[in-house]
Amino acid sequence: MVTVGIIGAGRIGKVHTRSICNFVHNAKLKTVADPFMNEETEKWLKDMGVQNTTKDYHEILNDPEIQAVLICSSTDTHSPISLEAIAAGKHVFCEKPIDHDLGRIREVLKALEGSSLKYQVGFNRRFDHNFAAVKQAVLDGKVGDPHIIRITSRDPEPPSPAYVAVSGGMFLDMTIHDFDMVRFLAGCDAEEIYVQSAVLVDPGIGEAGDVDTAVITLKMANGAIAVIDNSRRAAYGYDQRAEVFGSKGMAATSNDTASSLVLSTAEGITGEKPLYFFLERYTESFAKEITCFIDSIENDTPTLVGAEDGLKPVLMGIAAKKSVEEHRPVKLSEIVY
Q: 286: buried, middle or exposed (CB in 10 Å: 19+, 13-18, 0-12)?
A: buried
User: In the chain, pLDDT over 90 holds for what percent of residues?
Assistant: 93
What is the average pLDDT across 23-33? 96
Domain that residue 100 falls in: 2-117
pLDDT at 337: 72
| Model confidence at 199: pLDDT above 90 | yes
Chain centroid to CA 260: 27
pTM, two decimal places: 0.95
| Model confidence at 177: pLDDT above 80 | yes
Whether residue 113 is found in the same domain as residue 143: no
- What total number of domains does the chain contain? 2
Could you tell me if residue 201 is inside a domain?
yes
From 83, 117, 151, the end of a domain falls on: 117
Could you tell me if residue 109 is inside a domain?
yes
pLDDT at 108: 98
| Model confidence at 134: pLDDT above 90 | yes
Query: pLDDT band at residue 165, thresholds of 50, 70 and 90?
Result: confident
| Model confidence at 279: pLDDT above 80 | no
Supply φ then ψ for residue 178, to 5 degrees.
-75, -35
SS3 content of the chain, % helix, strand, coil (to 5): 40, 25, 35
Query: pLDDT band at residue 285, thresholds of 50, 70 and 90?
Result: very high
| Model confidence at 231: pLDDT above 90 | yes
Whether residue 187 is found in the same domain as residue 322: yes
Could you tell me if residue 303 is inside a domain?
no
What's the mean per-residue pLDDT of the chain? 96
pLDDT at 278: 80
Supply φ then ψ for residue 332, to 5 degrees.
-60, -25
